[in-house]
């Protein structure tokens, strides 16, 4: 089959995260039709995660191509760039206080970013409640997408923006994410100024990080008086069950953590003792490095589906940069195949270089603090 012109192609994006939505927005901005499929029942059906820092040279660049940079800055929190590095005794080792005009990486809640991108799309672009079961068809297309609700659709280009456990990836690559030896528990705090004033003072307006070599705590402000804390441990992936606990046993997990963090200051331990509600278990996984696949004229990947890495502040930014470059390649190429080749020729080497730099980098999440380096911190 001859590869179609992008403007005449049936383009399906699987995944309505920041990458998939950014790609759709830029395509529509240039008059190219696109459909997005997502398994969520609607755009607000679940918690979207914590705060993101969008960088000038990738995330913000993509939003500029999407025509949404001004709207982003209206929502973003520049004060969220503040960062405090502490030791387990609560001593302040380093403190970055952003300048008044600093915009290197202002914070925005994931939910706010998703709403911004969704609001920029034409009505009906996103088809909700679509859980992908398989992608079939010849490499040169068309591809057949089968969804759990019985829907079957054909596409001349399938874009896998469906994250770590991508169903689209399986059509071109046998690679699966592997556990990297570090696990995170997410804890939520609400009404910070009234309910948690001491912790609010400790963390400041941005983030605070403390670690001792085997375990760490990373706290980050979200909008609306909320805070998320990530309890980071170098530990086996099934540590909750192997410790005789269960995921919903908040008090039991808290007691276990207090034993593990024994000797840390009471001020720091507020991040473990004061959370509102249960912990969320998030063991960390990554794809093999490098992750490559045989070129297909009718299917490609972006973001975590292409290059899942340790959560060290690059994931969403790279996904949005991927999305921008893929969309612009489609805008500027004669055929879909030309666009996919051009995009992958840029994306794969960039992702491989970054993945090699971050390989083993999860150890930095629990490494003892070095005041000379503010260090890598978990992406939220």
List CB contacts of 348: < 8 A, sequence separation 6 or more: 290, 292, 306
What band does 368 get if pLDDT is binned at 50, 70 and 90?
Answer: confident
The residue written with tokens 């689209």 in the block is 168
Domain layout of the chain by residue ranges? 6-78+104-176+287-360, 178-286
Architecture, CATH, for domain 178-286:
2-Layer Sandwich (3.30)
Do 6-78+104-176+287-360 and 178-286 fold alike per CATH? Answer: no
pLDDT of res. 312: 81
pLDDT of res. 342: 98
Give the bridge partners for 152, in sequence order.
Answer: 146
pLDDT of res. 372: 59
pLDDT tens track for 12-37: 999 999 999 999 999 999 999 999 99
For residues 363-376, average pLDDT: 67
For residues 316-342, average pLDDT: 98
Q: How far apart are CA 271 and CA 238, in angstroms?
A: 22
pLDDT of res. 216: 95
Question: Helices in the chain by DSSP H: which ranges?
Answer: 18-29, 59-65, 69-75, 110-119, 192-195, 197-203, 239-242, 250-260, 266-273, 304-307, 315-332, 336-358
Fold of 6-78+104-176+287-360: FAD/NAD(P)-binding domain (3.50.50)
Both structure tokens of 112: 């706010």
Give the bridge partners for 221, in sequence order.
Answer: 227
pLDDT tens track for 270-308: 999 999 999 999 999 999 999 999 999 999 999 999 999
pLDDT of res. 104: 87
pLDDT of res. 362: 75
Q: How far apart are CA 334 and CA 161, in angstroms?
A: 23
For residues 331-351, average pLDDT: 98
Contact yes or no for 149/162 (Cβ under 8 A): no
Instruction: Let me know how long the chain is.
Output: 380
């Amino acid at each position: 089959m001859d590869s179609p012109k992008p403007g005449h192609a049936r383009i399906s994006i699987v995944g309505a995260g920041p990458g998939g939505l950014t790609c759709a927005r830029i395509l529509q901005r240039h008059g190219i039709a696109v459909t997005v499929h997502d398994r969520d029942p609607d755009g607000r059906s679940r918690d979207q995660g914590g705060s993101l820092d969008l960088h000038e040279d990738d995330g913000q660049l993509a939003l500029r191509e999407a025509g949404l940079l001004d709207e982003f800055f209206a929502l973003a929190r520049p004060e969220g760039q503040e960062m405090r590095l502490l030791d387990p005794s609560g001593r302040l080792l380093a403190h970055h206080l952003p300048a008044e005009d600093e915009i290197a990486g202002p914070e925005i809640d994931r939910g706010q970013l998703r709403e911004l991108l969704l609001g920029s799309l034409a009505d009906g672009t996103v088809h909700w409640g679509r859980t992908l079961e398989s992608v079939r068809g010849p490499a040169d297309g068309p591809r057949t997408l089968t969804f759990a609700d019985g829907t079957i659709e054909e596409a001349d280009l399938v874009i896998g923006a469906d994250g770590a456990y991508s169903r689209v990836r399986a059509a071109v690559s046998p690679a699966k994410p592997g556990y990297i030896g570090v696990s995170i528990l997410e804890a939520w705090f609400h009404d910070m100024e009234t309910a948690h004033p001491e912790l609010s003072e400790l963390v400041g307006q941005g983030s605070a990080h403390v670690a001792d070599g085997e375990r760490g705590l990373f706290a980050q402000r979200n909008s609306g008086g909320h805070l998320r804390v990530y309890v980071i441990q170098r530990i086996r992936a099934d540590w909750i069950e192997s410790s005789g606990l269960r995921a919903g046993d908040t008090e039991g997990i808290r007691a276990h953590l207090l034993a593990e963090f024994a000797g840390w200051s009471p001020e720091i331990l507020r991040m473990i003792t004061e959370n509102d509600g249960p912990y969320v278990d998030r063991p960390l996984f990554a794809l093999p490095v490098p992750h490559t696949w045989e070129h297909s004229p009718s299917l490609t990947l972006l973001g975590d589906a292409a290059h899942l890495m340790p959560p060290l502040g690059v994931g969403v930014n790279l996904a949005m940069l991927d999305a921008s470059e893929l969309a612009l390649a489609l805008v500027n190429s004669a055929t879909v195949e030309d666009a996919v080749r051009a995009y992958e020729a840029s994306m794969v080497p960039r992702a491989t270089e970054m993945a090699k730099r971050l390989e083993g980098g999860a150890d930095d999440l629990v490494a003892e603090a070095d005041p000379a380096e503010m260090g890598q911190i978990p992406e939220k």
